[in-house]
Amino acid sequence: MELSSVLFKENFRLSNDAFMYVFDNIKETCPYQLSSSISPMLKLCCILRFLAHESYQQTVGNDFILGFAQPTVSLILNEKLPILETTICSLWIKTDISEQHKQLTRRKFYTNSGVPNLVGCVDGTHVAIIAPSENRHLYLNRKGFFSINAMIACDHDMVIRCVDARYGSSHDSFVGDHNSVYLDILGDSGYPLHEYLWTPYRNALSGTVESQFIKKHAKPRNVVESTIGVLKCRFRCILGERKLRYSPSKATMIINVCCALHNIC
């Protein structure tokens, strides 16, 4: 906590105040599993360094700020990730927003793109993982590598309102069919059309009303692409430069925690 605000955010991605907010939310649920010489605050620092700077446990442990052995980092991850997921994800990733907030979001989308009654946009992003030991076929995507296709829905302010990383590398349409966001959102042609999920026309002729709709439809969807880009650059463990070397269930947990921390940032 003695680091400057700039250095603190570079190292842990959260501001000092945001870090203390997360720490206060999880400190009461910290089980006694590791040596008492490792404080709960250092454990949280270790988790955040891991999420922010790719996923080499040994590198995180050898960091001059922390100084942990790789097995200790592994134990901290096993201890802290479930706690973070259960405490902050439900608080910071939710679709049950107030009507007043919906109206404000609709106004922002309409001012920016001219699309009315829009509350959010949705897209999928692949997070690379190593080949799992079981059900490998569920995680092999069409590009030939193993991944989890995470569905992410966000609002105009790049706040993530929904994340679903439960279905391996399944196509966007499958994930969309098995997840009802129940917000008026836009998605690309990979998603199924619903009364609450608007998708573009396919193969519309130039100059038609349908082609004009496609142009209008594309503009607000930039926000979800930008949100995914910011999320992956902020928490580089899911960026894809190095595959997550964890089971699909733990990889899903990491994705969920990263999305919640993104909103806190």
Regarding whether 129 and 52 lie in a shared domain, the answer is no
The answer for residues whose C-beta is within 8 angstroms of residue 192's C-beta and 6 or more apart is: 173, 176, 177, 199
Q: What angle is formed at CA 233 by the lines to CA 68 and CA 48, rounded to 5 degrees?
A: 25
**Which of residues 92, 117, 150 is at a domain's end?**
92
DSSP notation for 154-178: E-TT--EEEEE--STT--HHHHHHT
Residue-level pLDDT at 63:
67
Regarding whether 88 and 108 lie in a shared domain, the answer is no
Regarding whether 105 and 32 lie in a shared domain, the answer is no
Regarding whether 54 and 172 lie in a shared domain, the answer is no
Can you give the residue range of the structural domain that contains 63? 5-92
Domain count, the chain: 2
Query: Which tokens sit at 10?
Result: 């570079």
Regarding whether 85 and 59 lie in a shared domain, the answer is yes
**Which of residues 42, 59, 92 is at a domain's end?**
92
Regarding whether 151 and 81 lie in a shared domain, the answer is no
Are the C-beta atoms of 147 and 169 separated by less than 8 Å?
Answer: yes
Regarding whether 87 and 140 lie in a shared domain, the answer is no
Regarding whether 125 and 76 lie in a shared domain, the answer is no
Regarding whether 103 and 78 lie in a shared domain, the answer is no
- In the chain, the amino acid numbered 63 is D
Regarding whether 191 and 68 lie in a shared domain, the answer is no
Q: Mean pLDDT per 10-residue run, the chain (265 residues)?
A: 86 92 83 65 90 71 72 88 93 90 94 90 94 93 93 95 94 83 84 86 84 87 95 91 86 96 95
Query: Which tokens sit at 167?
Result: 């279905």
Residue-level pLDDT at 59:
65
Q: What is the pTM assigned to this prediction?
A: 0.90
The Cα 235–Cα 18 span in angstroms is 15
